[in-house]
């Protein structure tokens, strides 16, 4: 009997060992420019390049806004009305998917439409952790049925608050950071976002437009390598005013919205929410925040509890109010854009620096990353690029410096509708840290691949005529 039990245990141990060994393989270190995913993406880019041109005309601007704060503890649930019983907060695995206990401040999605000639672009700021891939896909599907807008007209983003709505992602890792998946949450968010976009397009009116930036180095620092790394401390902004006097401001900053930590169990837009509310109390009809190149960047601030995000958000709002009178407002617009869908490598989820899970195993653990794009728009002298990730502020500085020599301002916002983890400088890939290890999902060649494709489209759009 003992021998039989021993043989069974030995067989089980052997099966476990075989499974573990089978589940692990080495990294693929093939340079991106020698891969099929690069070749197919480049071919797609070549087909788009011929379509690049600047549209010139009178400025038209439109605004849309929807509240995306769920109604909690409601039975029976009704997702069409945003009524849910339990909704987890998204952002920190340490919360273990626990439901929100209340609402500290409301969450919104805000859309600003810009039009020149026959070209319309819509920029969406949302008080969400990311723009969930399933949600952005549904938004595009809804808009295709109700409007003439296509994916290339839409520039998604999120404020990256870690105290917003969860339940929008399946998969072990998706639920770790956002709680138990509920498809009704994705449907509700998609309906509200598409409605805000339609409001903005229907609100298009003649107006004026101006862009600018200021340095806010007291409120951001490099969290990955500290003083050894660089910091993009620019606060970028765009002001839009309709002829009837209604006005909106779009702002982007590169500090993670994590001021409250995982102990907070109330919905909150974090410091971007305080920034938006302060400006809307100072005469703006709408203030929309866009998470910038937040990779490796976190916030600096003073105070405990909600005093900390209040300090940062309102200080940034006060600085902006000082700079707004100095910017030139134009009633004419030169605008062009490019949206490039990327082919992806297979998953490279590492168990050590040189070993990874087999892609078939990783795909079962990680959420769907969605349709992945890099995008860029030229708005007069501003180039606005977007990434499907937490994009590194250190890399964004490289793009800014290159365009500055051409007389152009540049910013890169994150969370543009797909999500592929962190895009960081290549020299950090082998660090045993959160951003390079846990959140770097597609191998050592993926970071330089995305950085290269963004660099190419930024360069191309800077040369459009």
Mean pLDDT value of segment 314-332: 96
Residues 257/155, Cβ–Cβ less than 8 Å: no
Alpha-carbon distance of 317 to 23, in angstroms, equals 50
Q: What mean pLDDT is reported for the chain?
A: 92
* 12 SS3 class: helix
* pLDDT for 15 beyond 60: no
In tens, the pLDDT along 378-392 reads: 999 999 999 999 999
Burial label, 437 (beta-carbon count in 10 A; 0-12, 13-18, 19+): middle
Average pLDDT over residues 413-421: 96
Average the pLDDT over 67-75 and give the result: 95
Q: What is the pLDDT of residue 357?
A: 83
- Which residues, other chains included, contact 80 with Cβ-Cβ below 8 Å and sequence gap of 6+? 188, 191
C-alpha separations of 400 from 257, 387, 411 in Å: 23, 15, 7
pTM greater than the 0.85 cutoff: yes
According to DSSP, the β-strands at 102-103 and 355-357 are: unpaired
Distance CA 410, CA 461 (A): 11
- Give the pLDDT score at 22: 47
Average pLDDT over every residue of 358-368: 85
pLDDT at position 163 is: 97
Place of tokens 């895009």: 423
pLDDT in tens, 286-305: 999 999 999 999 999 999 99
**What is the structure's pLDDT at 16?**
44
CA atoms within 13 A on the CB side of 374: 26
The angle that helices 446-462 and 393-404 make with each other, rounded to 10 degrees, is 30
pLDDT at position 19 is: 46
Q: What is the pLDDT of residues 75-134, one digit of tens each?
A: 999 999 999 999 999 999 899 899 999 999 999 999 999 999 999 999 999 999 999 999
Cis peptide before 428 (omega within 30 of 0): no
- 211: part of which helix (H) or strand (E)? strand 205-215
Residue 375: what pLDDT? 97
User: Half-sphere exposure of 368 toward its Cβ, with a 13 Å CA cutoff?
Assistant: 13
pLDDT of 449 over the 90 cut: yes
**With the C-alpha atoms ordered 125, 129, 130, 133, is the resulting torsion angle positive or negative?**
negative
- Which has the closest alpha carbon to 399: 343, 452, 442, 465? 452
pLDDT above 70 for 5: no
Inform me whether the pLDDT recorded for 18 exceeds 50. no
**Phi, psi angle pair for 269, to nearest 5°:** -85, 5
pLDDT above 70 for 253: yes
Q: Pick from 275, 285, 284, 282: which is nearest to 315 by CA?
A: 275
């Amino acid at each position: 009997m003992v021998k039989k039990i021993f043989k069974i245990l030995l067989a089980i141990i052997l099966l476990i060992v075989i499974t573990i060994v089978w589940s692990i393989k080495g990294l693929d270190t093939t340079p991106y420019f020698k891969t099929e995913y690069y070749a197919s993406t480049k071919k797609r880019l070549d087909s788009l390049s011929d379509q690049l041109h600047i549209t010139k005309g009178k400025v038209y601007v439109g605004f849309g806004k929807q509240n995306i704060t769920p109604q909690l503890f409601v039975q029976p649930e009704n997702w069409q009305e945003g009524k849910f019983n339990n909704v987890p907060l998204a952002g920190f695995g340490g919360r273990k998917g626990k439901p929100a206990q209340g609402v500290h401040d409301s969450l919104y999605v805000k859309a600003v439409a810009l039009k020149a000639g026959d070209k319309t672009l819509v920029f969406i700021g949302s008080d969400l952790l990311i723009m969930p891939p399933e949600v952005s896909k549904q938004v595009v599907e809804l808009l295709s049925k109700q409007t003439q807008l296509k994916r290339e007209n839409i520039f998604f983003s999120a404020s990256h608050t870690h105290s917003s709505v969860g339940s929008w992602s399946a998969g072990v890792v998706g639920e770790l950071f956002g709680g138990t998946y509920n498809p009704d949450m994705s449907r509700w968010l998609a309906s509200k976002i598409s409605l805000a976009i339609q409001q903005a397009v229907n609100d298009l009116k003649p107006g004026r437009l101006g862009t600018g930036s200021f340095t806010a180095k007291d409120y951001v620092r490099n969290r990955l390598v500290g003083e050894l790394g660089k910091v993009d401390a620019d606060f970028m902004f765009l002001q839009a005013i309709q002829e009837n006097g209604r006005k909106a401001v779009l702002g982007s900053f590169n500090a993670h919205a994590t001021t409250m930590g995982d102990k907070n169990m109330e919905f909150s837009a974090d410091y971007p929410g305080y920034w938006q509310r302060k400006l809307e109390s100072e005469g703006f009809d709408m203030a929309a925040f866009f998470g910038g190149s937040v990779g490796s960047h976190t916030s600096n601030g003073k105070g405990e509890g909600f005093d900390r995000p209040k300090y940062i958000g309102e200080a940034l709002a006060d600085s902006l109010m000082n700079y707004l009178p100095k910017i030139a407002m134009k009633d004419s617009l030169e605008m062009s854009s490019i949206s490039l869908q990327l082919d992806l490598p297979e998953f490279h989820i590492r168990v050590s620096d040189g070993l990874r899970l087999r892609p078939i195993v990783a795909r079962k653990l990680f959420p769907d990353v969605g349709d992945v794009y890099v995008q860029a728009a030229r708005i007069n002298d501003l180039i606005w690029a977007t990434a499907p990730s937490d994009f590194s502020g250190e890399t964004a500085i490289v793009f800014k410096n290159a365009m500055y020599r051409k007389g152009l301002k540049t910013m890169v916002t994150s969370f543009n509708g797909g999500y592929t983890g962190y895009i960081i400088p290549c020299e950090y890939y082998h660090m045993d840290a959160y951003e390079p290890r846990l959140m770097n999902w597609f191998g050592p060649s993926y970071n330089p691949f995305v950085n290269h494709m963004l660099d190419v489209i930024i360069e191309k759009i800077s040369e459009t005529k």
